[in-house]
Each structure stands twice: as C-alpha cells, then as structure tokens.
Amino acid sequence: MSAQATGAGPLAGIRVVDLSRALSGPYATLMLADAGAEVVKVERPGAGDDTRGWGPPFVGEDESESAYFLSINRSKQSVTLDLKDADDLARLRTLIADADVLVENFRPGVMDRLGLGSDALEELNDRLVVLSITGFGEGGPDGQRSGFDQIIQGEAGLMGITGPKGGEPTKMGVPITDILSGMFGAYGVVAALHERERTGKGQRVTTSLLAAAVAVHTFQGTRWTLAGEVAEPGGNRHPTIAPYGAFTCADGWVNVAVGSEGLWQRFAPLVGIDVDDERYATNRQRVANWDELEAEINAVLVDDPVGTWMARFNDAGVPAGRIRSMDQVYDWDQLEHLQLIDRVSHPSAGELALPGAPVAWSRSGRRPPEPPPLLGQHDDELLGDRDEGR
C-alpha cells in the first residue's frame, strides 16, 4: 500500500526514488517513509542492498532475512534494476521523471557516469529534490575517499572522545555518522521541498558523514576552537558537569545528572556529603575533584539496589536513570506507551517487532508501518513487463 493510499503523514503524496544502500541514505529514506512519503528502493538484481547480506542475525524460516536490513527499510517498495543495462537505466529515468525526491550515496562521480549528473536530472525533472550523501564531502583533498562509519568516527574525532578515561579510542555502539548524515539529509530534503512550494523548482542537497560528525561536536569542538583544549575519552563522566555520570549500585548501575547547584543541594544529603564541603561547593570545584567525589558517591550507592536509589532520587527530584540492557529496553512499558515498537507481518520472516519512528504528528498522523520489502517485490507493480519493447 502506498503512502498516498493511506493518506497518513505530512509527506503523503511525495514520491522518493532511493538509489542508496547500506545505512546513511536508507536511514534518510526511512525517515521520509515514516512521514508518509512513498519510497521506491532501487536494488541490484539478485543481490539487493548490501545490508541484505549483513549478519548474523538472520531471521525467518530459512534465515534468509537480515535483521540489519529489516531495521532500516520498513514502509518501502523494492524494485530491481541493473544500472549497467541501458533498458533498466531508461526505466530508472522514467521513475525519476515522476518523482519528487532522489536519494543517492554513491561515491562522487558515479551519478555523472550514469548520465544522471545535476544538469541531466534538472533537464529530466526540474522539480526534483536530489539528496547526495558522501563520506568525506564533495571535492577537496579527501573527497574521493570511501566513507565508512568507523573510519569517519576516527577521522572526525568522535573515537578520540569516546571510551574509558585514559583508555584507547572507542567507536560508538551504533554507526552514528551514518545515522546522523541520514537525519541531516532528510532535514535538508524537507527544507528543499518547502522551498519548492515558493519557487516551483527543486534543488540539490548535499551532506556527508564527515559533516554530520563535525556538526555534533558542539561543546567538545569549541573546547578546542575557543579554549585550545583537546578533549580526551572521559568514560561515563561528563567533562564539564559534576556529578554527572554512571555510578555502581548493589545490583547494577545508574546514571545521575546533577546539572545545577539546586540539584546539588538535593543530591548531596542523599549520599552523605555536606553541601558546604569546600571541595564540592561549586560545579567548577566538583569537576576539579571528580575522582574523589566519584569514589565517595560509589561507596554509598553500592550498599543498596538500583530500585531503592531510583526511588530516593525520584522523591528528591534528582534526575537519574537505570542503565538497561537492550532486552530490558524492549520490555519497558514506556516504549509501548510511546508506540516506539512497530509490529508488522513480513512475507518471509513472519511477525516482526522493529524499532519504530521517533516522531509523531498530531494532525496528519503517522503513516501506518509496513514490512520491509522482499528484493524486487514491487517490480511488476512499478516497472511493468520488462520484456515489452525488447
């Protein structure tokens, strides 16, 4: 069922041709699909998106479906086209001519070699919004390099500020630069669609994994650009606020965020610390004495279980939270309340529970989730008889 048929979501009626693969582009089109756009995912015949082969885990009776692919491709349609074949390339041009958005994350130059450079696309469809996501950006000394998430995490400084204090550089537990570039790309697309309402013309939107990583440096970046400080891995501690971090209890861990002097006044008595102790009287002093402060807090928290401490923090109005394993997260009733788990019936893998959309719209509603597509599932519907005219 297409987004236009459901009538749900603010982007209902928008058609997206998705030439991207792996994660950055597909994450952008996932966001657009959740908002109601009809996303036509173009895949290689016989193989499909690279992520169809990424695993384990694989699910379904014959374990043919990659959990990785399923996580980021709900509510899309799949067609297979060989872009080295002239007839299939012509079919792609027909899809693009009728589209509102085109998304690609090829290396720079590939679209030109396909005859789908900026000028050709504008001639084909001058209302088209084109999103291009690259690894290191276009042009410059590194523009031609392949951009994989962990490589960018390292090159862009994220691994240099992640990991245990004094430890080795560490990547994040999710491919964060892929995800962020997809998010920024989707934001760019929606902004360009809005501008098209005034001008009637599409435009090209560009972003990169590198740009996304630098954009989220925030205060860690200005520690260097403004103060000349090179940030280092700090473990679970906040580098500029104390106490703000993870602490051990009798049966697990909690995060506590004492982000103001008022919160410190509430927190300190709970852990037996004099609020007027000169070592901890201000946030600046607490940060300077983090080691000593952390040791004192842990020595008290370790005597009681997480549940007891959570109740105490809640009663005192101190922000705190459990550190949950992934299974505990998906058993959490708050996720059900927020409808953050999409349950869909997949034609091969059966009933699936997928991480759901993080945004809801009060008037237009959210598009009802649909299962990720089988490879080429919509060939007949969207491409017709391939043998016609051959």
Shared-domain flag, residues 67 and 178? yes
Whether 143 maps to a domain, the answer reads: yes
Shared-domain flag, residues 59 and 144? yes
Strand partners, 205: 131
Q: Which residues of 49-79 are buried (b: 16+ CB within 10 A; e: fewer)?
A: bbbbeeeeebbbeeeebbbbbbbbbbbbbbb
Shared-domain flag, residues 292 and 185? no
pLDDT in tens, the chain (390 residues): 344 434 589 999 999 999 999 999 999 999 999 999 999 999 999 999 999 999 999 998 788 999 999 999 999 999 999 999 999 999 999 999 999 999 999 998 999 999 999 999 999 999 999 999 999 999 999 999 988 999 999 999 999 999 998 899 999 999 999 999 999 999 999 999 999 999 999 999 999 999 999 999 999 999 999 999 999 999 999 999 999 999 999 999 999 999 999 999 999 999 999 998 999 999 999 999 999 999 999 999 999 999 999 999 999 999 999 999 999 999 999 999 999 999 999 999 999 999 999 998 988 988 899 999 999 999 999 998 655 443
Whether 239 maps to a domain, the answer reads: no
**Amino acid letter, 342:** D
Shared-domain flag, residues 200 and 309? no
Domain boundary pick from 274, 291, 322: 322
Tell me which residue of 212, 183, 205, 177 sits closest to 35, measured CA to CA. 183
Shared-domain flag, residues 191 and 54? yes
Neighbours of 364 (CB within 10 A): 15
Q: Is 98 in the active site?
A: no
Shared-domain flag, residues 51 and 10? yes
Q: Which residues of 318-328 are buried (b: 16+ CB within 10 A; e: fewer)?
A: bebebeeeeee
Could you say which of 49, 149, 178, 342 is catalytic? 178
